Amino acid sequence: MVHIRIDGLTVAYDKPLAGGAFVAVSNLNLDVPRGTFVTIVGPSGCGKSSVLLAIAGLTKPAAGRVLVNDRPVSGPGRDRAMVFQEFALMPWRTVVENVRFGLELQRWTGEDLTERAHRYVRLVGLQGFEHYRPHQLSGGMRQRVGIARALAVNPEILLLDEPFGALDAQTRESMGDELLKIWEQDKKTALFVTHSIDEAIFLGDTVVIMSTGPGRIVETIPIDLARPRTIDMMDTAAFVEYRRRIRHQLNGEVPAHA
């Protein structure tokens, strides 16, 4: 059951100073089945974030299209919610108010929005910090707010654009672990962009490897690791083999025994 179909997607940005357009993504095809966790890994500038923005309906494709539930995406929708690398929290809003933000904009009615926001604040483990402002929180806690804000609007699809890219390695690992625990509860379709190979393998049912010049998919690797996943799996032979394979692919080399 395909949930998201990316069909010949080309994303280009105007570069008036350079005199022309910069092609970020070129003729990209990808099917994402419902309920799967797909990670996209690749070097910076390979257009992986552009793919996400196109699915979110925040950038218009130069060519091709994105279909969600067989319907072409023409703009942002209630069925998709995004988590941003720079957190993108409103600094004047408290934690609860930030989580409420999406609910307000989507004009949720019929239930107490603040109460619902509180529930998602608890879900991401921020009880006790409800009335803090973003600048009073650590990076990891800020991104929990970002995740709670996205989950609160109950999207079908979760789009995560290098959400842990601004965090230190240790926080990053535990955030990934917690994200999976939350995801396991209702298995929304998730697209997760990262440049960390380990993160991509650890989280994903499928790892999509992208390359630059212009952005395209070079390989799609199904990750056959049991769920629920644990941090210890990162030391297993299978995990190490995936890591080796992806690293070779990213370096543009053919794996020795492939």
Partner 1 sequence: MRSRLLVSTVAVTLFLVAWEIAPRLRLVDPFFTSQPSRVLVAGVDIIRSGTLLHDATVSLSEFTVGFALALVVGVPVGLMLGTFPTLRHLLDPPLMAIYATPQLALLPIFVLWLGIGMASKIAVVFIGASIPIIVNSMAGVRQVEQPLVLAARSFCATGRDVFVKVMLPASLPAVMIGIRLGLSRAVLGVVVAEMYVSQEGVGNQIMRLGSAFRVDHLLVYVLLVSAFGLGATTMARKLEERVAR
Q: Do residues 252 and 209 touch, judged by C-beta distance below 8 A?
A: no
Residue 27 vs 106, nearer CB to partner 1: 106
Q: Considering the complex, what minimum distance in angstroms separates the CB of residue 55 from partner 1? A: 11
Write out the binding residues for partner 1, residues 20-59 only, by CB under 8 A. Answer: 56, 58
Q: Is 100 in the site for partner 1 (CB under 8 A)?
A: no
Q: Which two tokens stand for residue 132?
A: 């803090």
Say how many residues touch partner 1, by CB under 8 A: 24
Give residue for tokens 């010949």: 8
Write out the binding residues for partner 1, residues 160-219 only, by CB under 8 A. Answer: none
Helices (H), the chain: 48-56, 95-105, 113-123, 139-152, 169-186, 197-203, 237-250
From candidates 5, 34, 65, 78, binder to partner 1 by CB under 8 A: 78
Residue 153 vs 167, nearer CB to partner 1: 153
Segment lying near partner 1 (by CB under 8 A), choices 6-14, 61-69, 73-81, 208-216: 73-81
From candidates 80, 144, 172, 188, binder to partner 1 by CB under 8 A: 80
Q: Do residues 157 and 115 touch, judged by C-beta distance below 8 A?
A: no
Output the CA torsion 76→47→215→1 (10° steps): -40
Output the CA torsion 198→200→204→207 (10° steps): -120
Residues in contact with partner 1 by the rule CB under 8 A: 56, 58, 75-78, 80-82, 84, 86-92, 101-102, 104-106, 133, 153
